[in-house]
């Protein structure tokens, strides 16, 4: 199922067989704060941390797993499994930023713009909003605000925007009203 628009290839070339959109990487100021947010508020799991002492940074690879035993226990196998699937979030920590009071990463929505947001889908948007409120999460936009109803935007600890939506409420998006 490919919608045709200017520029679109009719079929994926054979040379791209097996390509997979694996992860998106965001730099974070304080990994303890970001890991608390992504593992508690959004329920992700840390699959692997890598330290690069010479270059003074660490990488954290996170995913939403359906089951505790989904990822291989062996560290090497788990690393290959992590890179072979979709839906991975990589957080990069450049050592020392967490102790600089004025240090702040750029969210991509203020100027200069580029990257916009990541998005989580949830089975029940109203319940998710209550959960975010319980956890004192900062909202860019609540579902009832703005033009796009049924879509919320929250902020992660670095200020990156996270869209939150409930898929079955958005079936009619982009279609003429009945």
Nearer to a second copy, 117 or 142 (CB): 117
Q: Binding pattern to a second copy, positions 114-153, x when CB under 8 A?
A: xxxxxxxxxxx--xx--x---------------x------
Helix or strand run (H / E) with residue 89: strand 88-94
Q: Of the candidates 30, 34, 57, 54, which has an alpha carbon nearest to the alpha carbon of residue 44? A: 34
Q: How far is the CB of 102 from a second copy (least distance, A)?
A: 13
**53, 56, 80, 129: which one binds a second copy (CB under 8 A):** 80
For residue 56, report the phi and psi dihedrals to the nearest 5 degrees.
55, 50
Identify the DSSP state of 170.
Answer: G
Collapsing DSSP to helix, strand or coil, 84 comes out as helix
Binding to a second copy by residue 57, rule CB under 8 A? no
Binding to a second copy by residue 176, rule CB under 8 A? no
Collapsing DSSP to helix, strand or coil, 75 comes out as helix
Nearer to a second copy, 13 or 101 (CB): 13
25, 29, 32, 34: CA torsion to nearest 10? -50
**100, 101, 108, 140: which one binds a second copy (CB under 8 A):** 108
Q: Is 77 labeled as catalytic in the residue annotation? A: no
Q: How far is the CB of 136 from a second copy (least distance, A)?
A: 14
Residues marked active site are found at: 163
């Amino acid at each position: 199922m490919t919608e045709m628009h200017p520029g679109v290839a009719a079929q994926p070339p054979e040379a791209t067989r097996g390509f997979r959109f694996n992860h998106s990487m965001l730099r974070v100021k304080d990994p303890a704060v970001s890991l608390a947010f992504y593992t508690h508020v959004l329920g992700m799991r840390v699959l692997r941390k890598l330290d690069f002492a010479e270059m003074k940074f660490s990488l954290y690879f996170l995913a939403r797993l359906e089951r505790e035993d989904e990822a291989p226990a062996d560290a090497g196998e788990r690393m290959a499994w992590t890179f072979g699937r979709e839906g991975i979030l990589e957080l990069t920590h450049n050592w020392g930023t967490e102790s600089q009071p004025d240090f702040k990463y750029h969210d991509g929505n203020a100027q200069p713009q580029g990257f916009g947001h990541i998005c989580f889908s949830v089975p029940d948007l109203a319940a998710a909003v209550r959960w975010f409120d319980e956890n004192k999460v900062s909202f860019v936009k609540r579902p009832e605000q703005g033009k796009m109803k049924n879509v919320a935007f929250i902020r992660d600890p670095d200020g990156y925007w996270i869209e939150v939506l409930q898929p079955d409420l958005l079936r009619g998006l982009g279609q003429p009203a009945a």
